[in-house]
Amino acid sequence: MSRIFLIGFMGCGKTTWGKKLSAATGYAFIDLDNALEAEAGMSVAEYFAAHGEEAFRKLESKVLKETEYPEDVIVSTGGGLPCFFDNMVWMNSHGQSLYIKHSPKTLADRLENARVKRPLVQGKSGDELVNFISQKLAERKMYYEQATHIVNGITISAEGLMEVTGIKAK
């Protein structure tokens, strides 16, 4: 049984790499944001706006821990999920966590060009966005760096992720 939890800041490529890794290995893929939206009956942005960050983080943790995972699965998590409650400890005790690391500037460029606007960065751009991301990465560093594996988001490949985690194609 292999569970791989992809973690990292919003825009780092967790969902994209999760889908690529799933396709390369034959493992199931679960995007926890989608599972949360199904549980809440609304989008992440709508839930965040209606109930606030504290309620969102509680629901996010509940969805992480109560989702029924297939035997072999790649799981894309929300960017803040590792930083609340005992979520990092839980993920590391129920599988491997893999932190997709990028620079603040790279993340800012990706988020400014994103089709979907994220609640935490709405209305921010340029230096303001880079500074916000730098601050958040500093706050989250102690959580992200508890990951089983840390990879450079610029140079990774599906094959490289398989090698790092030790998973093989089915």
- DSSP, collapsed to helix, strand or coil, labels residue 89 as helix
Report whether 140 belongs to an annotated binding site: yes
Q: Is 26 among the annotated ligand-binding positions?
A: no
Tokens 């919003």 found at: 10
Q: Is residue 115 annotated as involved in ligand binding?
A: no
Q: 83: annotated binding-site residue?
A: no
How are the residues of the chain apportioned to helix, strand and coil, as percentages rounded to the nearest 5?
55, 15, 30
148 is in an annotated binding site: no
Q: Is 78 annotated as a binding residue?
A: no
28 to 1, 3, 39, 69, 74: CA distances (angstroms): 12, 10, 19, 9, 6
Q: Residue 12, annotated ligand binder?
A: yes
Q: Which residues are annotated as a binding site?
A: 11-16, 33, 57, 79, 118, 140
Show binding-site residues for substrate.
33, 57, 79, 140
In the annotated binding site for Mg(2+), the residues are 15
Residue list for the binding site for ATP: 11-16, 118
